[in-house]
Amino acid sequence: MKILLTGAAGVLGSGLSPELAQRHDVRLLDMAEVKTALPFCRVNLLDFEATKKACEGIELAVHCAAIHPWKKYTDEQYLDWNIKATYNLLKAAAEAGVRKVVYTSSVAAMGFRPASLDELPFTESKPCTPDENLYGVSKLVGEHFADLFVRSHGLAVISLRPGVFIPTTPEPQQGLSYLTHRVSVEDLVEAHALAVNAFAEGRITAGHERFIITSETPWRREDAETLRDAPLAAIGKYFPKAVELLQRKGIKVPPIVSFYSIEKAKRVLGYRPQFGFARWLERQGR
């Protein structure tokens, strides 16, 4: 397929571009310069006409470009780079004849606090109630824009909702977050490639499908109360060796108040994350 990849200079885009280029004709887009042998458009997504031109001849757009709350951004930057830029990309794609879009959303669009323990594990059917920050709201707005262009122009959209993937938090917090909502960059790259394959192979042809993309955790609904009130005991149930290691290293485990199901992504896309808490533990034990 002829694919446009936005955010090609970013953490996700730079890992995804060589993966997609193995099977597809890929055109990269970013407002920053990218050193690559692939076709590249240096375009600001706030420039609608330039964005539309970049979409010409494209069958599928993968929209990874965004800013993330790993550093401080202004409200205006979120409104521009996550909301207006996403609208421009979707509108430009629709008007240029692109029929399929993979959109990098976020679990932040869903919110991180359950209304009750019965809501756990979170699935794609959870009502979206983003926390009090513009990042989650901006990602949810992007999904609503996708719905709009599905209805108005017949786009087919896959929204991937990854957990945190940018490795900015220090150890051990980064490792512990695999128990809740973290996903490795490598697994997220694979999830995007699988979404593209679902379109390319005709397994998804219309509408707007959403998929949670995190590492795999063992948690079940019956674990929710223990995870909240005695998280170390819950960890010991599934990872017996972890308790001694965490205690020996003086690592305090905070209450775990939310966790996610990736069953839909496994069933429909064939997603099988390779990195999670167990792999992190192995590295700590070396």
Per-residue pLDDT reduced to its tens digit, 72-120 = 999 999 999 999 999 999 999 999 999 999 999 999 999 999 989 999 9
pLDDT exceeds 80 at position 172:
no
- pLDDT the model gives residue 174: 80
Domain assignment present for residue 24? The answer is yes
Average model confidence (pLDDT) across the chain: 95
Kindly indicate the confidence band of residue 251, based on its pLDDT and cuts at 50, 70 and 90: confident
> Both tokens of residue 57?
């001849």
> Both tokens of residue 169?
């938090």
Domain assignment present for residue 237? The answer is no
Query: How confident is the model over 163-176, as a mean pLDDT?
Result: 79
Which segment of 9-13, 16-20, 174-178, 276-280 scores lowest on mean pLDDT? 174-178
- pLDDT the model gives residue 173: 74
Domain assignment present for residue 229? The answer is no
- pLDDT the model gives residue 169: 66
Which segment of 63-67, 157-161, 249-253 scores lowest on mean pLDDT? 249-253
Residue 164: CATH number of its domain: 3.40.50.720
> Both tokens of residue 30?
């970013």
Give the end-to-end CA distance of the chain in Å, rounded to a whole number.
Answer: 43
Give the structural domain span for 146: 2-170+181-216+260-275
Distance CA 216, CA 24 (A): 28
Which segment of 57-71, 132-146, 158-172, 215-229 scores lowest on mean pLDDT? 158-172
Domain assignment present for residue 242? The answer is no
∠ CA 257-281-223, rounded to 5°: 30
Kindly indicate the confidence band of residue 285, based on its pLDDT and cuts at 50, 70 and 90: low
If one counts the domains in the chain, the total is 1
pLDDT exceeds 90 at position 170:
no
Domain assignment present for residue 222? The answer is no
